[in-house]
A and B are shown apart, each in its own frame.
Chain A
Amino acid sequence: MRTHTLHKFIPIVFWVSVFLVQGMAGQSASSPERRADFSSVLGADKDSTHAKWEGDYLLTWQESGSPSQPSAHVTNQNGEIVQDLIVWVRGAVWVRASDMTRTPSGRVYISGWAMNGGGARAGFLFAYNATGKLETVMRTAPYFPNNICAIDDDSVWVSGNGSNEEDFGMLREYNIPGGLKTDLVPRNTITTGERQLDHAYRGSLTCDANRLVLYLPEFSRVVEYKQSGSQPPRVYQFSKIAQGLIPTGFAMTRAGKLYAAITGQGDKVAAAGVFELKLNADGAATWTPVSELQIPKGYVGLLGAQENQLVYHLRRTGSELHWAAAGMVP
């Protein structure tokens, strides 16, 4: 007879600490205003596909790159693939893509790393022109890039790790083709002492011409960097996401509002939803539910924002995306 005691470890008050409902009055959201099918790049048969929404486009990529087959795609809002991207670097036997971003003019950047036949490994940034041609591959060794965001002045921001443990949790700015410009935060600022910001970490990095935001649910932190000023990036702390709940996406709208999705399963379905993350002057980030989004089965994957509408899906392996205007009323 086994002595399974899992239930003892399910805290009774698990979500109370996080989802103290604040300021619900004045929030507005709506039921899905639009939905569209993206079965060309999403669906149950594409289970290993990563996806995010940026601007007017869906970005999808497979973790494993290929020298001959496109493993990343840019798809327009009508579900038509407009860019097929080869993710590969000469000399590699194995290429892995970590994240993908697209600038308003159509340039695409993919972060990842590769290994050659001798076991040497290095991080890389793949830069594509607006036609999808891979123009530049920049080696970032000894830095391994993870999340990536870029704007049209050739600035590329990347979160990731150095090769040594003391170099975990770095946020860097590159110029492609110019090279590394700067480390935006002191090493280990983001991840101090808790866990290595390793391959397991899945954050989100979003940006526009004014602001860069790194969302790190595993570390309960949001890092904000305002490019126009001289201030260094600021780290905001939020309450630890309650046990039994999973962060499933992040978005920054054109208006600059930040949203994060939380998925809850089983008896935690009721706690699932999309929340606005407000960054407060005291350095705390607080959650406010977007109450009107319908999350029928507890799963919501927030892929990003198109203008001020959130783009999300309600089935993990589904191909249908939803749009909803959230938080339009200040």
Chain B
Amino acid sequence: MLKVLLTIILVAAPMSAQPILLNADGKPLLNAFEGLSRPKSYFGGSKKDSKSLQQSINGPAAPKCTLSNSSRDAFLQELSGGLNAKLRPVSSCRTPSSGCEGHFVVLQPYDCSAGDATCSAAIYSNTGSICSMGAGQTYVDCVSGGDSNCCVSYYACTNNSGCDGGGGGCDDDDCGDCGGATGVPCPPDQN
């Protein structure tokens, strides 16, 4: 009897430590994700391997060029002006479409010849202001010569959560662990 009681206590104790899980209507849920499934719209509606995901993100103009360090430095010097800029690898990012906040600057080189006759580059902010140096504006910026006609996109974020949305940016969700090589799904309805 004592053994049974002890078992009940031992089993019940950790269970009671769990938080109550509720649905938005206030009714209990047994499982946090019950009734939910992977969004069909995610990356075109089907599960893809990481290579396909990478292509989905980058599109046909996936980065091919490599920006030289000198060009990077020049861009950063011109852009940062005290932005506390630091580079992040963005090989899995696609072209940004909405904003970020302005802490670190990311340069995303991509190949001008792959459909971007005049390459545009922009930096974005969550106000549509600072990063872009013109809200939503783009400017032509082709890097020729030693940089093999690279175009450059800029991202400037205050922190690594501010620049995500709409398909690009500084957030890990896009640039690191979202989609791309890792295949980790992106934030809600962002990509």
A residues with a Cβ closer than 8 A to B are 1-11, 47-48, 50, 63, 89-92, 94, 96, 113-116, 118-124, 126-127, 134-141, 143-144, 161, 163-165, 174-180, 195-196, 198-202, 217-218, 240-248, 263, 265-267, 269, 297-298, 316-317
Number of A-B pairs, beta carbon distance below 8 Å: 235
Residues of B within 8 A of A135 (CB): 19-20
The reply on B106 being an interface residue by CB < 8 A is no
Query: At the interface, yes or no: B103 with Cβ under 8 Å from chain A?
Result: yes
- Can you report 15 A-B residue pairs in the complex whose CB atoms are below 8 A from each other? A2-B71, A4-B78, A50-B159, A119-B37, A138-B23, A143-B24, A177-B22, A179-B22, A199-B173, A199-B187, A217-B126, A243-B134, A265-B80, A265-B82, A266-B83
Q: State which of B126, B128, B134, B165 has its C-beta within 8 Å of the C-beta of A196.
A: B165
Question: Is A9 a contact of B133 with CB atoms below 8 Å?
Answer: yes
Name the CB-closest residue of A to B187: A199
How far does the alpha carbon of A4 sit from the alpha carbon of B143 in the complex, in Å? Answer: 8
Q: If the complex has contacts A6-B79, A135-B20, A316-B158, are A244 and B133 also in contact, measured as CB distance less than 8 A?
A: yes
Q: In the assembly, what is the distance between CA of A317 and CA of B164, in Å?
A: 21
Least Cβ distance of A21 to chain B in Å?
A: 19
Shortest distance from the beta carbon of B180 to any chain A beta carbon, whole Å: 15
A119-B185 contact given A91-B31, A246-B125, CB 8 Å threshold: yes
Complex: chain A residue closest to B133, CB-CB = A9
What chain B residues lie within 8 Å of A164 (beta carbons)?
189
B20-A5 in contact (CB<8A): no
Whether the Cβ atoms of A138 and B22 lie closer than 8 Å is yes
Residue from A94, A119, A240 with most neighbouring chain B CB atoms (10 Å): A119
Among candidates B26, B99, B159, residue contacting A178 with C-beta atoms closer than 8 Å: B26
Contact present for B18 and A200 (CB under 8 Å): no
Q: How far is the CA of A48 from the CA of B88 in the complex (A)?
A: 14
A263: which B residues are within 8 A, CB to CB? 102
- Most B CB within 10 A of own CB, among A4, A126, A201, A266: A4
**In the bound complex, CA of A92 to CA of B39 (Å):** 16
B165 contacts which of A47, A138, A198 (Cβ < 8 Å)? A198
Residues on B with C-beta less than 8 A from A243 are: 129-130, 132-135
Q: Does B98 contact A (CB under 8 A)?
A: yes
The answer on a CB contact under 8 Å between B139 and A6 is: yes
Q: With the chains together, A99 CA to B90 CA distance in Å?
A: 26
A198-B98, A200-B100, A200-B162 known; A246-B127 Cβ under 8 A? yes
Q: Are A63 and B144 in contact (CB under 8 A)?
A: no
**Which among B31, B84, B135 is the interface contact of A316 at CB below 8 angstroms?**
B84
- On whether the beta carbons of A63 and B22 are closer than 8 Å, the reply is no
Q: A200 touching B141 by the CB < 8 A rule? A: no
